[in-house]
């Protein structure tokens, strides 16, 4: 995994980041607004986006959600942290494809926990540092 730092403003009590979701072996992708969610265990992508990009399915997993138990497809992708047109870092990771998400991409603690995630509430900002920083 590459090293990078992403930061942003807290908007309406939500931490949003610009990410690109890419097919794991092709240059097919889409830039989306990702919700960084410390209450979500896994990273999740909308079924519609996974289908649009043709992401390969690697299996199924039972998931407990606020709406009850659901079955999700495990899909393979690359997530690219963006700062405008500049790529900050690439993460190869499986994500869960679910419908009825609050964002096209939700980054959960399975990925947030691989770095340092800080909420700076008084300042209205957040900071996510991933990998070795020099």
Concatenate the DSSP letters of all residues of 49-88 into one string. HHHHHTPPEEEEEEEEETTEEEEEEEEEEEEEEEETTEEE
3-state secondary structure of 94: strand
Task: Provide the residue ranges of all domains of the chain, joining segments of one domain with +.
Answer: 4-130
Q: In this predicted structure, what is the pLDDT of residue 72?
A: 96
Angle at the Cα of 112 from the Cα atoms of 58 and 85, rounded to 5 degrees:
85
Least confident of 11-15, 25-29, 30-34, 96-100: 11-15
What pLDDT score was predicted for residue 133?
Answer: 45
CATH class for domain 4-130?
mainly beta
d(C-alpha 2, C-alpha 106), whole Å: 20
- Distance (Å, rounded) from C-alpha 67 to C-alpha 57? 23
Residues 44-58: tens digit of each pLDDT: 999 999 999 999 999
CA–CA gap between residue 59 and residue 17 (Å, rounded): 27
Instruction: Quick: pLDDT tens for 73-82.
Output: 999 999 998 8
**pLDDT for position 132:** 52
Q: What is the pLDDT of residue 23?
A: 93
pLDDT confidence tier of residue 85, bands split at 50, 70 and 90? confident
């Amino acid at each position: 995994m590459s090293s990078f730092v992403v930061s942003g403003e807290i908007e309406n009590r939500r931490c949003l980041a610009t990410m690109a979701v890419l097919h794991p072996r092709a240059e097919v992708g889409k830039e989306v607004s990702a919700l960084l969610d410390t209450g979500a265990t896994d990273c999740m992508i909308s079924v519609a986006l996974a289908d649009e990009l043709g992401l390969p399915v690697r299996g199924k997993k039972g998931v407990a959600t606020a709406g009850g138990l659901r079955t999700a497809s495990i899909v393979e992708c690359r997530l690219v942290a963006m700062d405008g047109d500049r790529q900050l870092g690439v993460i190869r990771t499986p994500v869960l494809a679910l419908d009825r998400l609050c964002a096209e991409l939700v980054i959960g603690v399975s990925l947030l926990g691989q770095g340092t995630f800080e909420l700076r509430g008084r300042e209205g900002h957040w900071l996510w540092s991933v990998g070795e920083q020099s």
